[in-house]
Amino acid sequence: MFLPFTNYRLIHSTFKYYSQMATSSNNKILIPPISVRGMVKLEKEKFRKLVQFPSIKIPKKLVNRILGLSFYNNYRLECLPRLKTFRNSESDDFKRLLFDPDKLSEAKEEQKEEIIKQIEGQINSKVEFENFSYQMEYDDWNTKNCLKAILPEDIECSGFEQCGHIIHLNLRGKLLSYRFVIGQILLDKIPRARTVINKLDILTNDYRIMDVELLAGEADYATELMENGIRYKLDYSKVFWNSRLITVHEKTVAQFDSNSVVFDVFAGIGPFILPAVKTKNVIKAYANDLNPDAIDFLKKNAKLNKANRIEGFVLDGAKFIQKIIPEKIILHCKEWEKDEELDKSTKYTFHVVMNLPGYSAEHLPYFNDFLGKFEEIRPLFENNFCSILVHCHFFVKADDDLPLSWYDKEARRIICEKMGIEDLEIKELFFNRKVSGRKNMYCARICLPVEYICKTNEKINGSFLEKFVEDDEEIFQIKRKKIA
């Protein structure tokens, strides 16, 4: 079932509660009881607490006037699930305007007097602060309240990702002792959540499948979500997905246009390929992944989004680069050469996306002379009729705490070293995101030099397809359009 989102760009949510914030909370009123600190199994009754809320009685018919006063924003109650700004009073003609007890306790006397003065000016009647007693229960506290309260003050809890009904955590170290209570709180508090999982280790298997532990809820890892107008079906136990890469997807797809042919070496379920076809109207898109389940989901997602002109492959990345990409480049170039109506001033770009950050840079050498046996198309590249632009997403790691400038230089060094070109001209090299304390993700956009992709003068006879596409390769085609 498709789950609607208020804002599809905010598929994932992130929270960070730092220890230095916790140390200053001991004197606060609007927090759960200190007795829940260190809780490893959820006991809801221990969150019960009687809180005195400062309040002022307001005539019911004048409530909207008070809410419009700017001063109230400084003392407004933060978002609590069941406690609203106004509560019913003993009289049907009045409402109680509630104030945050912690915020108001920090206000000076003259500020409190100003509050009284402004309210009296609006309702033409005398008012005063009165305490309103309310029994806070587990269901009254929000996610932030609960998580901050249960964790020891020296432990930081940071980050979760929500994909459809699945909450995905990355808990490590001391937090592991609290993983089940954290999972249960998130299951209770996050809208639409039905499954909470924790990623057990880094992605080391060839298929990029996460080893996960169920923390709370149902063991249902199949979900559906939306990113940038594209719907995706996936199963967390079978394929890789990371909603935090939405900006990475957007920046890369923005490079495509209607004169583009796109190859994705590590395509997954299609976060680059599907928008390339649907929103950028590329000529053709070729998706590859070693994980057959990923390509199967890509096929389903292509049909789900009515995205045609996609061809899928289940191959090792190196084999896809050295065999399939040259085959398709040759076919497209021959088609363009034969097309008498084609505007010869049009510039075509073959985009190659590599988003397997732990290994992408290692695949750059496979482009070295990969078109060398097809010297007949070399003039097309020399005359800028077409070009190959590689989008290489990769990690840069440091052993110590170093400035971003070091990572920038190291990123350039890695690309130049892998390609064996010391003075390589990189079209664009930029920081993508911080992955962890000493690991950053970068993207290098490299327009492959002609002399790098075509070094030899040897030509071959016969069909390229016969020579390079072996019978035992597992290849499926979502929709094939004859191009030669």
410-418: average pLDDT: 98
The CATH-assigned architecture of domain 244-476 is 3-Layer(aba) Sandwich (3.40)
Fold of 8-20+144-226: GMP Synthetase; Chain A, domain 3 (3.30.300)
CATH code assigned to 49-136: 3.30.70
- The domains of the chain are located at 8-20+144-226, 49-136, 244-476
Amino acid 199: pLDDT: 86
329-359 residue pLDDT tens: 999 998 888 887 777 788 999 999 999 999 9
Tell me what pLDDT residue 339 has: 80
pLDDT value at 463 more than 60 = no
Please determine, for residue 3, whether its predicted confidence score (pLDDT) is greater than 80.
no
| Model confidence pLDDT, tens digit, residues 306-327 | 999 999 999 999 999 999 999 9
Q: Do domains 8-20+144-226 and 49-136 have the same CATH topology?
A: no
pLDDT per residue as tens digits for the range 194-207: 999 998 866 656 77
- Known binding-site positions for S-adenosyl-L-methionine: 249, 289-290, 316-317, 355
Binding residues, as ranges, are 249, 289-290, 316-317, 355
The structure's pTM equals 0.80
Task: Determine the pLDDT at residue 479.
Answer: 34
- The pLDDT, as a whole number, for residue 154 is 85
The secondary structure of the chain, three-state, reads CCCCCCCHHHCCCCCEECHHHHHCCCCCCCCCCHHHCCCCCCCHHHHCEEEEEEEEEEEHHHHHHHHCCHHHHHCCCCCCCCCCCEEECCCCCEEEEECCHHHHHCCCHHHHHHHHHHHHHHHCCCCCCEEEEEEECHHHCCHHHHHHHHCCCCCCEECEEEECCEEEECCCHHHHHHHHHHHHHHHHHCCCCCEEEEECCCCCCCCCCCCEEEEEECCCCEEEEEECCEEEEEECCCCCCCHHHHHHHHHHHCCCCCCEEEEECCCCCCCCHHHHHHCCCCCEEEEECCCHHHHHHHHHHHHHCCCCCEEEECCCHHHHHHHHHHHHHHHHHHHHHHCCCCCCCCCEEEEEEEECCCCHHHHHHHHCCCCCCCHHHHHHHHCCCEEEEEEEEEEEECCCCCCHHHHHHHHHHHHHHHHCCCCCCCCEEEEEEEEECCEEEEEEEEECCHHHHCCCCCCCCCCHHHHHCCCCCCEECCCCCCCC
pLDDT of residue 14 exceeding 60: no
